Amino acid sequence: MSWNYDFILAEMFVLMAMFLYYVVRPRLPLLKKKLFLVMLVLEIAVLITDAVGAYTIENYINVYPLSYGSNILYFMCFFMRAFVFFMLSLHLIGLNCQKNKIGLYVIFITFVMFELITLSTPFTELIFYFENDRYYRGVLYILTYIQFFTYMGISLYLYVKQFEKIEKRERITLPIMWGVLLCGYIMRYIRNTYLIENIFYLLVLIILFFNYADPAMIIDSQTELYNEHGFAEMMKERVGKKDYYLVACVIKNKSLLREVYTVSDLQRGSKEIGAFLKRIAAKSFVFYSFDGYFIILSDTPIAVEEFQQKVTKRFEQAWNGTFNQMYLNVGYVRMDSSLDVVSTDELLHNLYAAVAKVEAANGPDSLNVEQIKRQIKVRNILNYALTNNDVQMYLQPIIDAKNGKVVGAEALARLYDDELGLIYPGEFVAYAEQNGSIAELGMQMFMKACQFIRAYRGNLNIEWINVNLSPIQCLDRNLVYKFNNILSQYQVPASMVHLEITEESYIDSNTLKDIIRNFKKIGFEIALDDFGSGYANIARLTKYPLDSIKLDRSIVVGYFEHPSDVFVSMVSALKASGYKIVAEGVEEEYMVHGLSKIGCDYIQGFYYSKPISEQEFVKKYTKEYA
Ligand code: C2E
Ligand code: CA
Ligand code: CA
């Protein structure tokens, strides 16, 4: 036999280059990556033993230890290589090895048997043997093919069976990987002397390298920390499998920072913060998310208090930007494996939500595991309520300031859970706005208000119900049409529903104007909610065709704490422009008098009643019961 070593030589160079690049870059201890390293090493071993083995055969070097030794080693590495590829394949399919223990044992034991058979070759001549200085294949040489086809068969079977659960990009990688290897085994069969099938393994290694093994994929170039992708990969090996502890350090109020400092300041600052965190959390992994937070991940409990103290203390000093000294505020999110999450996606989702809360200018400075557990529960309850039409509508009466009679009510959303009891919008509205489910929530509330009006219309003392509209809902161009449909479905006149709208900076004022106009065309009355808290101001107001203005509790209370003519003149000015004025958050009798005196038309607040359930409202405010 005459062997051709050209391929092997070329492959060797490529492999060595890959190997060197791979070991000098920082890596995360991920199973996939460990397997990849093993594959690289095995490939090198196969190449060397293949070449040496072929050489001894070709040159009739019948020195037993050398000819047998190198060929035995070759076959052992050969079997092992296929085995490791198979393991990786199972891992990519996402099989949780702990659950398939028996199957895994069987596969492992057959693999060990292959290796033992190979080892026994000098005595049994099963894989190969030498006779008259010539090399012959043994009866079990065919195992080299059987092994491959079995592994491929099992992989493809599981691939099809688990298809839905496999990550999207692995869905392409896996068939390509086995397809390329199949070509390799076919070539090996028909062109045995070219030592060619290794090149197909090399090809697969290159595909894998570009697909996930490239260390650059998990490094954030700005901070030189691991990135979000690396974090997600680490969590995939932990969620539901083993313990983890993490603390996210969140730079607060980023949107404001971006206005104050330059991008390059913030980049340089992030790098410095990253280096600092790496120093004080030396035994943990530190990740940086592009969104401006850092995650410390550890497999053992973190001394959180001590850690947070150190970080907070450092944040009292300035960080060096490129042009500016930056003073930043930091908040914390803590999570660990006691969280009730089933998938990495769910974990990330909850982490992002918690980070967003802490990040907000008026958000909490830290969220601990218990608080996050509650948030997760609340979100599940919300999702359940949204899909099962189970959001509760509470009603708070609105009183006519002139005669103290109930004339309307505001519909306010509540969730109910057997374990947590009544849950207030403060815990779920912001989240629903974040993930877009506010549209569904708002629709349910609107529908329930219509249902309520329809059911009690005849003996209801009130003239209308106010329903809250989130600015996010207003982005839906079909909203007016949808509401109109519901009105006709329940045969409710639009005049019995008032819509409360808040003005937010992110809604284009022309869009808002159009929507309000369209609502008014149908006959809805429009109230501007939360006037005096934040964005809305008198100058902008006149743009919109509003019917009434709801003074936010903060300016109402503020007026009674520091009575001023400004408030009084503002109310008169608004009234003079034709708006009806509603005062919110009225808790004391003297406030009722004061507000009526300066001309408020309607009063809403705990002084009269807290928001109450539909049944209670019916009992209190319908003619039948009155
Ligand atoms: P809001 O629209 O300003 O609703 C008034 C809030 O003030 C209600 O809080 C109400 O319980 C509370 N309140 C009323 N009178 C008093 C008082 O005398 N003193 C005090 N301290 N508070 C009073 P709630 O029900 O917790 O709702 C909070 C916010 O959640 C609402 O503020 C509203 O922005 C939002 N929200 C509630 N339901 C919905 C909904 O169906 N859709 C949308 N988009 N947002 C909703
Ligand atoms: Ca409101
Ligand atoms: Ca309000």
User: DSSP letter string over 419-483?
Assistant: TTEEE-GGGTHHHHHHHSTHHHHHHHHHHHHHHHHHHHTTTB--SEEEEEE-TTGGG-TTHHHHH
Q: Please identify, by atom number, the ligand 1 atom nearest to the C-alpha of residue 500.
A: 2
Task: Answer whether residue 542 shows pLDDT above 80.
Answer: no
- What are 327-384's pLDDT values in tens digits? 999 999 999 999 988 889 999 989 998 999 899 878 899 999 999 999 999 999 999 9
Query: Does 502 sit in the ligand 1 pocket, CB within 6 Å?
Result: no
| Residues facing residue 142 across a β-bridge | none
Q: Which ligand is nearest to the CA of 398?
A: 1
From the number of C-beta atoms within 10 Å of its C-beta (0-12, 13-18, 19+), residue 87 rates as buried
Length of the chain: 626
Task: Answer whether residue 536 shows pLDDT above 60.
Answer: no
Q: In what order do the strands lie in the sheet with 226-227?
A: 226-227, 285-289, 293-298, 245-251, 330-336, 366-367
Q: How far, in Å, is the centroid of ligand 2 from the Cα of 525?
A: 14
The span from the CA of 302 to the CA of 291, in Å, is 24
- pLDDT value of residue 382: 96
Residues 6+ apart with CB under 8 A from 374: 420
Section 276-290 average pLDDT = 94
Contact status, residue 72 vs residue 130, Cβ threshold 8 Å: no
Residues 6+ apart with CB under 8 A from 100: none
Q: Please identify, by atom number, the ligand 1 atom nearest to the C-alpha of residue 467.
A: 41
Q: Whose CA is nearest to atom 29 of ligand 1?
A: 425
The span from the CA of 262 to the CA of 322, in Å, is 8
Q: Using CA of residue 485, residue 488, residue 490, residue 496, what is the dihedral sign?
A: positive
Contact status, residue 198 vs residue 205, Cβ threshold 8 Å: no
Section 159-168 average pLDDT = 87
Q: Please identify, by atom number, the ligand 1 atom nearest to the C-alpha of residue 550.
A: 3
Q: Whose CA is nearest to atom 44 of ligand 1?
A: 470
Q: Which of 304-308, 455-459, 532-536 has the highest mean pLDDT?
A: 304-308
Task: Give the whole-number percent of the chain exceeding pLDDT 90.
Answer: 66
DSSP assignment of 220-249 equals: -TTT-SEEHHHHHHHHHTTTTTS--EEEEE
Task: Answer whether residue 94 shows pLDDT above 80.
Answer: no
Domains and CATH numbers, the chain: 6-215 (1.20.1070), 219-367 (3.30.70.270), 380-625 (3.20.20.450)
**pLDDT band per the 50, 70, 90 thresholds, residue 7:** confident
Q: How far, in Å, is the centroid of ligand 2 from the Cα of 567?
A: 21
- pLDDT value of residue 618: 93
- What are 15-47's pLDDT values in tens digits? 999 999 988 888 888 888 888 999 999 999 999
Query: Does 534 sit in the ligand 1 pocket, CB within 6 Å?
Result: no
48-53-57 Cα angle (round to 5): 150
- What are 569-598's pLDDT values in tens digits? 999 999 999 999 999 999 999 999 999 999
Structural element, H or E, at residue 556: helix 553-561
- pLDDT value of residue 347: 94
Residues 6+ apart with CB under 8 A from 45: 73, 77
The span from the CA of 546 to the CA of 526, in Å, is 5
SS in 3 state form for 256-289? HHHHHCCHHHHHHHHHHHHHHHHHHCCCCEEEEE
Residue 566 in tokens: 């400004």
**pLDDT band per the 50, 70, 90 thresholds, residue 537:** low
Could you tell me how far CA 488 lies from the centroid of its own chain? 39
- pLDDT value of residue 457: 86
Query: Does 90 sit in the ligand 1 pocket, CB within 6 Å?
Result: no
Query: Does 412 sit in the ligand 1 pocket, CB within 6 Å?
Result: yes
Contact status, residue 452 vs residue 621, Cβ threshold 8 Å: no
Which ranges in 336-368 belong to alpha helices (H)? 344-359
How far is CA 214 from each of CA 22, 23, 33, 207, 360, rounded to the nearest angstrom?
8, 11, 9, 10, 35
- What are 394-410's pLDDT values in tens digits? 999 999 999 999 999 99
Q: How far, in Å, is the centroid of ligand 2 from the Cα of 556?
A: 15
Q: How far, in Å, is the centroid of ligand 2 from the Cα of 501?
A: 8
Q: Whose CA is nearest to atom 35 of ligand 1?
A: 425
Q: How far, in Å, is the centroid of ligand 2 from the Cα of 529?
A: 6
How far is CA 584 from each of CA 259, 400, 545, 593, 595, rounded to the nearest angstrom?
34, 13, 21, 14, 10
Please report the beta strands in 47-171, taking only residues with DSSP state E, as ranges in sequence order: 128-131, 134-137
Query: Does 433 sit in the ligand 1 pocket, CB within 6 Å?
Result: no
Phi first, then psi: give them for residue 416, nearest 5 degrees: -125, 135
Contact status, residue 422 vs residue 416, Cβ threshold 8 Å: yes
Query: Does 396 sit in the ligand 1 pocket, CB within 6 Å?
Result: yes
Phi first, then psi: give them for residue 194, nearest 5 degrees: -85, 0
Task: Answer whether residue 166 shows pLDDT above 90.
Answer: no
The residue behind tokens 């306010």 is: 412
DSSP assignment of 140-183 equals: GGGHHHHHHHHHHHHHHHHHHHTGGGS-HHHHHHHHHHHHHHHH
- What are 410-438's pLDDT values in tens digits? 999 999 999 999 999 999 998 899 889 99
Q: Whose CA is nearest to atom 7 of ligand 1?
A: 585
**pLDDT band per the 50, 70, 90 thresholds, residue 188:** confident
Enumerate residues with CB within 5 Å of ligand 2 (an ion).
468, 500, 529
- pLDDT value of residue 478: 93
Query: Does 424 sit in the ligand 1 pocket, CB within 6 Å?
Result: yes
**pLDDT band per the 50, 70, 90 thresholds, residue 96:** low
Whose CA is closest to 410, among 582, 607, 160, 257? Answer: 582
Structural element, H or E, at residue 567: helix 565-576
Q: How far, in Å, is the centroid of ligand 3 from the Cα of 598?
A: 20
User: What is the chain's percent helix, strand, coil content, to nearest 5?
Assistant: 55, 15, 25
Q: Return the DSSP state at 391.
A: P
Phi first, then psi: give them for residue 337, nearest 5 degrees: -70, -10
360: left (phi over 0), alpha (psi -120 to 50) or beta: beta
Structural element, H or E, at residue 52: helix 31-58
Residue 263 in tokens: 């991008």
Query: Does 587 sit in the ligand 1 pocket, CB within 6 Å?
Result: yes
**Parallel, antiparallel or unpaired: strands 612-613 and 392-400:** antiparallel
- pLDDT value of residue 63: 66
- pLDDT value of residue 585: 96
Mean pLDDT computed over every residue of the chain: 91
Q: How far, in Å, is the centroid of ligand 2 from the Cα of 381?
A: 22
415: left (phi over 0), alpha (psi -120 to 50) or beta: beta
Contact status, residue 426 vs residue 588, Cβ threshold 8 Å: no
Could you tell me how far CA 497 lies from the centroid of its own chain? 37
Amino acid at 145: Y
Structural element, H or E, at residue 64: helix 64-93
How far is CA 422 from each of CA 377, 379, 391, 626, rounded to the nearest angstrom?
13, 14, 11, 27
